Amino acid sequence: MSYLHQVITVTGKCLRPLYPRSSTLNRFIYAIVLSGIFAFSAQADDAAGAKLKSLLSGINQFKAQYAQVITDSGNNIVHETKGEVVLARPDKLRWETYAPDDNVLIADGETVWNIDPFAMQVTVMDQKGQVKDNPFMLLTSDDDSVWSKFVIRAADDNASEYIVTPKNGEGQIRELTLLFDGNSLTGLSTLDAQEQTSTILFSQSSTRFPMAADTFQADISGQFMVDDQR
């Protein structure tokens, strides 16, 4: 049974399965966060890999609004959502989903905090212990040992689209496509093990902005139930 379908028990109370409001959406978010988000590793077409690495290494921090559409293998829309994402090197992420799927995932480089304000519950996990061979890891890492786990190719001659696949063919994310306009990251798309495609387009993006000190800090004061799995 996957983690997402387990029932969490905290302080003697049986909670609902994590994220039942949108399991497809949260498979995607978990694949990002628990895999190290912005820490990629790849080896492929040398020119494409070098160019992508150069583009990503220039992004030390990133903030944007996003619109996400998830489709099944028949190209039917199964979920749509909007929110805000903030990323920073090394390995930091704040992924906020707006209502009606409101929730916040925070990765601070060591710990992942999954905050569900609707259910007033928080799941806490060790970030490094969750890292798999996931292409999202290339986003915040210059480590050659990480890049060597992936195959990278340019999808067009303009070097505006890069396709990344894990060499071992395992993991939740089977293929990641990153979209650029010049040096700006404008979107990404994933194909997962369930043959679902998640497409995210960024807007109002910025790589130069003052980062609030508490951006990657989890505020779980009050009546939150906490499931600490570290």
Nearest to 154 by CA among 74, 45, 76: 45
Looking at residue 14, its pLDDT comes to 31
Comparing 32-36, 115-119, 148-152, 197-201, the range with the smallest average pLDDT is 32-36
Average of per-residue pLDDT across 107-120 = 89
Spell out the domains of the chain, with CATH numbers in brackets: 22-203 (2.50.20.10)
Residue 91 region by backbone torsions, left for phi larger than 0, else alpha for psi between -120 and 50, else beta:
left
- Measured at the CA of 5, the angle between CA 91 and CA 116, to 5 degrees, comes to 55
Residues comprising the chain, all counted = 230
Q: Taking 60 as the threshold, does the pLDDT of residue 8 lie above it?
A: no
Q: Taking 80 as the threshold, does the pLDDT of residue 39 lie above it?
A: no
Task: Tabulate helix, strand, coil % of the chain (nearest 5).
Answer: 15, 40, 45
Please tell me the distance from the alpha carbon of residue 201 to that of residue 79, in angstroms, as a whole number: 15
> Which range has highest mean pLDDT (35-39, 177-181, 218-222)?
177-181
pLDDT digits (tens, 9 = 90+) for 196-213: 999 999 999 999 999 999
Please tell me the distance from the alpha carbon of residue 107 to that of residue 113, in angstroms, as a whole number: 6
Please tell me the distance from the alpha carbon of residue 163 to that of residue 152, in angstroms, as a whole number: 6
Comparing 54-63, 151-160, 206-215, the range with the smallest average pLDDT is 151-160
Q: In the numeric block, which tokens belong to residue 137?
A: 């890891």
Please tell me the distance from the alpha carbon of residue 155 to that of residue 169, in angstroms, as a whole number: 19
- State if pTM tops 0.85: no
**Residue with the larger pLDDT of the pair 28 and 69:** 69
Would you give the end-to-end CA distance of the chain in angstroms?
19
DSSP helix/strand/coil, 139? helix
pLDDT digits (tens, 9 = 90+) for 220-230: 877 889 999 98
Comparing 29-33, 75-79, 124-128, 226-230, the range with the smallest average pLDDT is 29-33
